[in-house]
Amino acid sequence: MPVSSRSLSTTALVLKVIFCSLSLLLALAPYQLAWAAPAVANEGQRQPLNTVAIVMFVLFVTATIVISYWASKRIQSSSDFYNAGGNLTGLQNGAAIAGDFMSAASFLGITGLVFAFGFDGLIFAIGAFAGWPIMLFLFAKRVRNIGNYTFTDVVSRRLQRTKISVVAIVGTITVVVMYLIAQMVGAGKLIELLFGLPYEVAIVTVSTLVIVYVTFGGMLATTWVQIIKAILLLLGATIIAFLVMSHVDFSLEALLNGASEVHPKGRAILVPGVLFQDPVQVATILVAMMFGLLGLPHILMRLFTVPSMKEAKQSVFYASLFMAYFYMLLVIIGFGTVLFLYDNPSVFIDGKLLGGGNMAAIHLSNVVGGDLLMGFISAVAFATILAVVAGLTVSGAAAISHDLYAGIICKGNPDPEKELKLTRATSICIGVIAVALGILFQNENVAFLATMPLVVAASVNFPILFLSLFWSGTTTRGAIVGATIGLITSIGLIVVGPQVWVSVLGFESPLFPYNYPALFTMPLAFITMWFFSVTDKSAQATLDRKAYHELLVSSEYGPTDNRLKT
């Protein structure tokens, strides 16, 4: 449905005002930075300003704002806003998916963990990758065929729309908000380090930029920001890895030997056991990461941006290719940080890495490539964060405006103009929430933080999606009770686990020993869904079960298929 021309001209006007304001802000940046510099020196936590980094940073921001402006001109309907019109190719969408998923947690967080603990940090890399084959095998085609914009569309296809949508919306918003924390912490630390700006100002800046992208450019702007970012990130990671390997005659053996010689833990970093010793703890991480990915609403949403199921499958495969390459490079970059930084006193203050462990990759780029590469990598890392936050914001906004407002309140017949306005207002609210949570969790490792929402996604969204697609016995009651149990137990156990109970809330010891309880909460959610479904004798349960066969055919052959209809 077209949006009125008055609304579009208002949009353009507001965008121009914001564009001018940001241009002014950027023009004044040197003065602000000059003011900020003494504070940096006093705190001893940030390094001298990197002019190249700042120039690249400004270039990237300007480019993305131009993209948002271009995209805002093309948004004519809710479809344009939520799924970029649904006309991307498999390769474009694959790059955007990779751009969406290769987050600050992956690049900064995993590198930081390898820097500190060696091999054990790679658990997060294999975990981040392993969900993609399952996404292709189980979900890519089926989800694409029976949804429109969000995963709530998929689960509400055969279950009672109003009730299951509420649960799916709660699951989506919870995951989106938790995932935002990791990205905001990464962004705040990065800008704090580069610009010498206070952490709080840094995350407000990020939040403002993302609100501009999403509010005006929707999924179209978000997609192109993600594609550009994916290309830049892969290019930057390749350059760093190449330069690292060139210092060790392109011998992985030499790199690992050199790293183990300078790391305080010695050769222990080459094998498992420095950070994790308990196999159950490792299993909790692996389960959370693999199955959590399958329930991430902003990732599932990307499957609707292509025109066919074939393109959906191809996009997942292309995304896997990009990510496989990236996570393999992280081995070189991670151990490269060990080799080049532990022997370099200029990046340490009081025995701690300048800017914290999350900044190891940035320091490495400076050591192997100088200011130019550091500037480039910093801009890429910043782009990474902006792209992921933008994707999350679109997903959260769609949950409120499309699933809640259009789907439940308006019973599928919303006023398109009001829906778009609500989407934009929701984007702003999500940005504000992200800032508050980013401040609260600022001292945590971003890889740890990014795994927490995966626990919730694995315990709430994944079981609903999987059972509604693959088990005819699933009923609305079973799905709701199971998802509620999954949500309560996963959040409850995360809160009383070590990362929140001890690190954030300051208690002496945790009430639950594991950070990522999906190993326990996901099976609990499945069992609960099964039990409350098989014992459900209601009239709605009969309808839910009956609807399965039609969904089965639609999901395999496409939404317009009528093979089983008589």
- Residues 139-158 contacting other proteins, CB under 8 A: 141
Q: What is the dihedral of CA 448, 396, 138, 314, to 10 degrees?
A: -100
Q: What is the dihedral of CA 462, 466, 469, 471, to 10 degrees?
A: -140
SS3 (DSSP) at 348: strand
DSSP string, 139-174: IHHHHHHH-SSSHHHHHTTTS-HHHHHHHHHHHHHH
Q: Which of 101, 107, 119, 441 touches other proteins by CB under 8 A?
A: 119
Total residues in contact with other proteins, by rule CB under 8 A: 49
- Per CB under 8 A, the segment of 69-77, 150-158, 270-278, 532-540 that binds other proteins is 270-278
Distance in Å, CB of 134 to other proteins, minimum: 5
Two structure tokens written together for 98: 């990779």
User: Is 257 one of the binding residues for other proteins (CB under 8 A)?
Assistant: yes
How many other C-beta atoms are found inside a 10 Å radius of the C-beta of residue 351?
A: 5
Q: Which residues of 64-99 are buried (b: 16+ CB within 10 A; e: fewer)?
A: bbebbbebbeebeebbbbbbbbbebebbbbbbbbbb
Which one, 417 or 556, has the nearer CB to other proteins?
556
- Between the alpha carbon of residue 439 and those of residues 82, 188, 427, the distances in Å are 29, 9, 19
- Residues 203-232 contacting other proteins, CB under 8 A: none
Q: Which of 327, 376, 462, 516 touches other proteins by CB under 8 A?
A: 327
- Per CB under 8 A, the segment of 9-17, 28-36, 220-228, 279-287 that binds other proteins is 279-287
Q: Which of 138, 231, 239, 425 touches other proteins by CB under 8 A?
A: 138
Distance in Å, CB of 305 to other proteins, minimum: 19
DSSP string, 465-517: HHHHHH-TT--HHHHHHHHHHHHHHHHHHHHTSIIIIITTT--SS-SSS-S-T
Judge contact between 473 and 531, C-beta under 8 A: no
- Per CB under 8 A, the segment of 50-58, 253-261, 346-354, 488-496 that binds other proteins is 253-261
Judge contact between 139 and 299, C-beta under 8 A: no
**β-bridge pairing 348-349 and 352-353:** antiparallel
Two structure tokens written together for 42: 């006093």
Which one, 107 or 501, has the nearer CB to other proteins?
107
User: What does R_g of the chain's alpha carbons equal in angstroms?
Assistant: 23
- Between the alpha carbon of residue 231 and those of residues 92, 226, 359, 415, the distances in Å are 11, 9, 21, 38
List all residues 6 or more positions away from 433 whose beta carbon is below 8 Å from its beta carbon.
177, 180
Distance in Å, CB of 237 to other proteins, minimum: 15
Q: What is the dihedral of CA 127, 297, 441, 126, to 10 degrees?
A: 10
User: Is 345 one of the binding residues for other proteins (CB under 8 A)?
Assistant: no
Q: Which of 33, 37, 274, 282 touches other proteins by CB under 8 A?
A: 282
Torsion region of 565: left, alpha or beta (phi above 0 gives left; psi -120 to 50 gives alpha) = beta
Distance between alpha carbon 302 and the CA centroid of its chain, in Å? 12
Q: Which of 36, 61, 136, 233 touches other proteins by CB under 8 A?
A: 136
Distance between alpha carbon 97 and the CA centroid of its chain, in Å? 10
Q: Which of 78, 93, 174, 260 touches other proteins by CB under 8 A?
A: 260
Distance in Å, CB of 143 to other proteins, minimum: 13
- Per CB under 8 A, the segment of 171-179, 202-210, 248-256, 493-501 that binds other proteins is 248-256
Distance in Å, CB of 102 to other proteins, minimum: 14
Residue 216 half-sphere exposure toward CB, CA atoms < 13 A: 28
User: Is 553 one of the binding residues for other proteins (CB under 8 A)?
Assistant: yes
Mark residues 447-486: x for contact with other proteins by CB under 8 A, - for none: -----------------------x----------------
List the beta bridge partners of residue 353.
Answer: 348
Judge contact between 355 and 46, C-beta under 8 A: yes
User: Is 117 one of the binding residues for other proteins (CB under 8 A)?
Assistant: no
User: Is 432 one of the binding residues for other proteins (CB under 8 A)?
Assistant: no
Which one-letter amino acid corresponds to residue 284?
A: T
Distance in Å, CB of 119 to other proteins, minimum: 6
User: Is 91 one of the binding residues for other proteins (CB under 8 A)?
Assistant: no
- Per CB under 8 A, the segment of 22-30, 231-239, 281-289, 374-382 that binds other proteins is 281-289
User: Is 278 one of the binding residues for other proteins (CB under 8 A)?
Assistant: yes
Distance in Å, CB of 561 to other proteins, minimum: 10
Q: Which of 64, 314, 395, 442 touches other proteins by CB under 8 A?
A: 314
Which one, 141 or 302, has the nearer CB to other proteins?
141
Distance in Å, CB of 328 to other proteins, minimum: 6
- Three-class SS of 447-458: HHHHHHHHHHHH
Which one, 290 or 361, has the nearer CB to other proteins?
290
d(CA 75, CA 95): 22
Nearest to 62 by CA among 85, 99, 31, 29: 29
Distance in Å, CB of 299 to other proteins, minimum: 16
Which one, 77 or 257, has the nearer CB to other proteins?
257
Which one, 205 or 284, has the nearer CB to other proteins?
284
Q: Which of 17, 24, 66, 126 touches other proteins by CB under 8 A?
A: 126
- Which residues make up the interface to other proteins (CB under 8 A)? 119, 122-123, 125-126, 129-130, 132-134, 136-138, 141, 252-253, 256-257, 260, 267, 270-273, 276-279, 282-283, 286, 290, 313-314, 316-317, 320-321, 324, 327-328, 331, 470, 549, 552-553, 556, 563-564
